Chain A
Amino acid sequence: MKLRSCDCYCQLFFESFRIFAEVSSKMMGLFKFSSILAVFILLDVASALYFHIAEGERKCFIEEIPDDTTVIVNYKVELYDPRSGGFMPSTPGIGMHVEVRDRDDKIVLSRVYSSEGMISFTSTTPGEHVICMYSNSTSWFSGSQLRVHLDIQVGEHAVDYANVAQKDKLTELQLRIRQLLDQVHQITKEQSYQRHREERFRQTSESTNQRVLWWSLLQTGVLVGIGYWQMRHLKSFFEAKKLV
């Protein structure tokens, strides 16, 4: 049902644009491309994956990314409306607190955003980045349910090629090559990060190996030592008791 309304919206959008263009094509040139793009992004997030959280509940997502990688998070929050039994499309009172932490638990980003928005950040250290979202709970809304539309795009997926083509005046082929380059860069970054992680993995395994080895040696020593002590102690005990 929501999809249909969205479709209608698109058609309306298109139709109105056409009429607008027919009436004054000169005016259209003045119309900022970026604002059209902004509308497109907002419309886009409404068709994204969504989930439900309770008011004030914290929801975290983990992105394991190499360094120097851009992550774009698009979200939209809708509040459950008990009167209509549906979700209100826009709720001005609700804000979302977004927090991004890197591997060392250092805060990369921590801000309160409105009920709808786009967050982007670029990683400086490789590793697990935790993106947490929670609504700024107000006493009026507490206990009610929120529907969160979420779209997280990482690396090359985060690039808006329509924008790039427009800005750099690229031909189709140039744009395609640009995309290929971006992909290759991402693969390279991922691979170098993979090497780091493999190193960590190897270190852990070697540490386990060392521990097992030393522990077994130590344990043998402990066993021999204790056995010897037991025998000596009991022998002296029996001798003192005159049992042997």
Chain B
Amino acid sequence: MFVTPVIFTIFASLINGILSKSVELTFELPDSAVECFYQEIEKNTSAALEYQVITGGQYDVDVKIEAPNKQILYQQQKMQYDSHQFTAQQTGVYKVCFSNEFSTFSHKLVYMEFNVGPEKPLPGIGEHATVLTQLETSAEEIHSALNRIIDHQTHHRLREAQSRKRAEDLNERVFWWSLGETFAIMCVALAQVMILKNFFSDRPTLYNRK
């Protein structure tokens, strides 16, 4: 029969689509704003949240994960980056909030990755009853190794982005500060001379009035 495997595949992928979800988002967090994301998680499914502030202010953010029954599963204040893994105790909508409420003027860029459940298997794999051949086992191993590489790459990409933005910031600051400093020195030099001259001038001034 041709139809049964097709239906089975669709059904399997449908179920997988509901069970496993992975989303990576990088979003802007304006000053004194709260950004919340919601995700439905089934009971006993493990979920992992990873986040990092890429740029803005002191590179920190308040993070909170709330269970459907309003219980707070995870709460951190002024974190630069972290990850948290938990297993859903009940089915329902879980809420993840990023808050920049403590900051009144710095605009931030936040990366987050939210993984729910195990990775979606390829269609057809794991459905046959026979033992995996050596080739299949190695393919499986390579796949998980590559996944780890991609994860590490993402991590490095973010750290690099953070450092690069910091360096660009520093470059800019050095430029403006040096301009300001030069101007300040010139002003001070002129003022010093003027004031000193005033001390010895004959006309009564602000500094030598008796």
Contact of B185 among A13, A157, A172, A226 (CB under 8 A): A226
- Are B149 and A61 in touch, CB under 8 angstroms? no
Known interface pairs A194-B157, A211-B171; A179-B178 also in contact (CB < 8 Å): no
Contacts of B2 in A (CB 8 A): 25, 28-29
B residues 184-206 touching A (CB-CB < 8 Å): 185-186, 189, 192-193, 196-197, 200-201
Chain A residues in 8 Å Cβ range of B150: 156, 183, 186-187, 190
Q: Are A33 and B26 in contact (CB under 8 A)?
A: no
Q: How long is the Cα–Cα vector from A61 to B11 in the complex, in angstroms? A: 32
Q: Which residues of A, 196-212, contact B by the 8 Å Cβ criterion?
A: 197-198, 200-201, 204-205, 207-208, 211-212
Across-interface contacts of A204 in B (CB, < 8 A): 164, 167-168, 171
| Residues of chain A contacted by B156 (CB below 8 angstroms) | 194
B14 contact set on A, CB distance < 8 A: 10, 13, 40, 43-44
Q: Which residues of A contact B197 (CB under 8 A)?
A: 234, 237
> Which residue on B lies nearest to A2, using beta carbons?
B40
Contact with A along B129-166 (1 / 0, CB 8 A): 00000011001101100110110010011001101100
Considering only CB atoms and an 8 Å cut-off, how many residues of chain B contact the other chain? 72
Decide if B171 touches A151 in the complex (CB within 8 Å): no
How many contacts between A and B, using CB within 8 angstroms? 191
| Contact residues in A for B192 (Cβ distance below 8 Å) | 230
Please give me the residue from chain A that is nearest to B12 by CB atom.
A162
Q: A62 to B199, alpha carbons, bound, how many Å?
A: 62
**Which one of B17-25, B56-64, B79-87, B99-107 is at the interface?**
B17-25
What residue in chain A is nearest B91 (Cβ atoms)?
A3
The residue of chain B having its C-beta at the shortest distance from the C-beta of A26 within the complex is B3
**How far apart sit A243 and B196, CA to CA, in the bound complex (Å)?**
13
Q: Are A190's CB and B178's CB within 8 A? A: no
- B18 in contact with A47 (CB, 8 Å): yes
Interface string of A33-44 (1 = CB under 8 A from B): 100100010011
In the complex, chain B residues whose CB is within 8 Å of the CB of A154: 24
Q: Would you call the interface of chain B mostly helix, strand, loop, or mixed?
A: helix
Whether a CB of chain B sits under 8 angstroms from the CB of A88 is: no
Please tell me if the beta carbons of B36 and A187 are within 8 angstroms of each other in the complex.
no
Any A CB within 8 A of the CB of B27:
yes
User: Nearest A residue to B39 by beta-carbon distance?
Assistant: A49
Known: A43-B14, A243-B200. A173 touches B122 (CB 8 A): no
Residues of B with C-beta under 8 A to A191? 153
Give A103 Cβ to nearest chain B Cβ, in Å. Answer: 13
Contact status A29-B135, CB under 8 Å: no
A14 at the interface (CB under 8 A from B): yes
By the criterion CB–CB under 8 Å, are B10 and A241 in contact?
Answer: no
B18 and A201: CB pair below 8 A? no
Within 8 A of B (CB), among A93-116: none
Interchain residue pairs with CB less than 8 A apart (11): A28-B3, A40-B13, A40-B14, A49-B23, A64-B157, A154-B24, A179-B122, A208-B167, A230-B189, A237-B200, A243-B200
Q: Which residues of B contact A (CB under 8 A)?
A: 1-4, 6-7, 9-11, 13-15, 17-18, 21-28, 35-40, 42, 91, 109, 114, 122-125, 128, 135-136, 139-140, 142-143, 146-147, 149-150, 153, 156-157, 160-161, 163-164, 167-168, 170-171, 174-175, 178, 181-182, 185-186, 189, 192-193, 196-197, 200-201
